[in-house]
């Protein structure tokens, strides 16, 4: 299987690292230096249809789009997610042979504010931010592709290099117990594993759904997770009132039913590993 990672960042590299020897991995980036040796670098702009068509003429079986905007602005999101989705749609429409599968990484921000209720793949998106709006628009383009496609909506990603919450707790920043501020997380290793899992489903000719909500098995309030971390780190917290964002609880049942198994099924396993790594580094 030839796999083209469009925007080959951290999550794509973690996915490639979990694929067997029967996969050949290629990483398309504007600056593809320093990719792991198992990934063949391709220098191109995925938002440029002509460049993308030139790359795609190599007949890849699977396309995996994992994009990272340059900054958190409307323009940056349009120039990454939307422009790349449009370029992919245009390119795949003109190919004599479409990919067997396109995986598009999105975000649970497309759901908007659900007042702490549960959401899953059947929940109607109602984004309340520009990022959620653009991500949803890009998703809709992917669903119209003339081939099998699957959108993966990741919740908050944490892991090595993504330790903002740990830093805040170490600085003593807590959250009030009320009102409840629900949050959802997934470890970066599990993000890569989800993408590899979908490719394995294709290889074994098992059904692949058009949308998967990828989040760990235990939504938790900001108050509870910070209290737990504070105990692990032996620090005292001062509750800080912050403006409430969109709150929801993510149901990952469809992903679990597909046979996926989490390495870090809750924040406890994931953050314990991060804390242990920090201690070992110190």
Residue matched to tokens 């999550």: 11
Q: Measured on CA atoms in the order 52, 89, 80, 199, is the torsion positive or negative?
A: negative
Q: What pLDDT shows up at residue 279?
A: 86
Burial pattern 71-91, b for ≥16 Cβ within 10 A else e, equals eeeeeebbbbbbbbbbbbbeb
Q: What pLDDT shows up at residue 8?
A: 95
Whether omega for the bond prior to residue 179 falls within 30 degrees of 0, making it cis, is: yes
Does a structural domain hold residue 42? Answer: yes
N- to C-terminal Cα separation, the chain: 41
Q: What pLDDT shows up at residue 246?
A: 85
Does a structural domain hold residue 73? Answer: yes
Q: In this structure, how many other beta carbons lie within 10 angstroms of the beta carbon of residue 29?
A: 22
Does a structural domain hold residue 92? Answer: yes
CATH number at residue 34: 3.40.50.720
**H, E, C per residue of the chain:** CEEEEECCCHHHHHHHCCCCCCCEEEEEECCCCCCCCCEEEEECCCCCHHHHHHHHCCCCCEEEECCCCCCCCHHHHHHHHHHHHHHHHHHHHHCCCCCCEEEEEEEHHHHCCCCCCEECCCCCCCCCCHHHHHHHHHHHHHHCCCCCEEEEEECEEEECCECHHHHHHHCCEECCCCCCCEECEEEHHHHHHHHHHHHHHHHCCCCCCCEEEECCCCCEEHHHHHHHHHHHHCCCCEECCCCCCCCCEECCHHHHHCCCCCCCCCHHHHHHHHHHHHHHHC
Does a structural domain hold residue 282? Answer: no
Q: What pLDDT shows up at residue 245?
A: 81
Show the domain range for 156. Answer: 2-162+186-219+249-265
Q: What pLDDT shows up at residue 86?
A: 98
Q: What pLDDT shows up at residue 281?
A: 84
CB 120 within 8 A of CB 108: no
Number of folded domains that form the chain: 1
Does a structural domain hold residue 136? Answer: yes
Does a structural domain hold residue 140? Answer: yes
Does a structural domain hold residue 281? Answer: no
CB 86 within 8 A of CB 46: no
Residue ranges of the chain with per-residue pLDDT less than 50: none
Does a structural domain hold residue 214? Answer: yes
Quote the pTM value.
0.96
């Amino acid at each position: 299987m030839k796999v083209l990672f469009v925007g080959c960042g951290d999550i794509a590299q973690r996915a490639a690292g979990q694929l067997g020897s029967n996969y050949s991995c290629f990483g398309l980036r504007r600056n593809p230096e320093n990719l792991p040796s198992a990934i063949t670098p391709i220098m191109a702009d995925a938002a440029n249809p002509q460049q993308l068509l030139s790359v795609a003429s190599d007949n890849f079986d699977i396309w995996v789009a994992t994009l990272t905007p340059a900054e958190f602005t409307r323009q940056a999101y349009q120039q990454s997610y939307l422009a790349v989705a449009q370029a992919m749609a245009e390119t795949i429409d003109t190919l004599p042979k479409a990919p067997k599968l396109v995986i598009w990484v999105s975000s649970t921000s497309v759901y908007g504010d659900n007042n702490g209720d549960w959401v899953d793949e059947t929940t109607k998106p109602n984004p309340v931010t520009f990022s959620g709006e653009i991500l949803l628009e890009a998703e809709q383009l992917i669903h119209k592709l003339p081939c099998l496609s699957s959108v993966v909506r990741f919740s908050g990603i944490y892991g090595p290099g993504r330790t903002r919450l740990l830093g805040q707790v170490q600085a003593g920043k807590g959250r009030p117990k009320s009102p409840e501020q629900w949050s959802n997380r997934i470890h970066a290793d599990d993000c890569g594993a989800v993408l590899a899992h979908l490719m394995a489903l294709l290889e074994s000719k098992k059904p692949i759904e058009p949308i998967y909500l990828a989040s760990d098995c235990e939504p938790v309030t900001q108050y509870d997770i910070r209290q737990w971390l504070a105990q692990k780190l032996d620090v005292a917290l001062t509750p800080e009132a912050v403006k409430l964002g969109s709150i929801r609880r993510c149901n990952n049942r469809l992903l679990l039913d597909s046979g996926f198994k989490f390495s870090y099924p809750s924040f406890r396993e994931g953050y314990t590993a991060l804390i242990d790594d920090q201690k070992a580094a110190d």
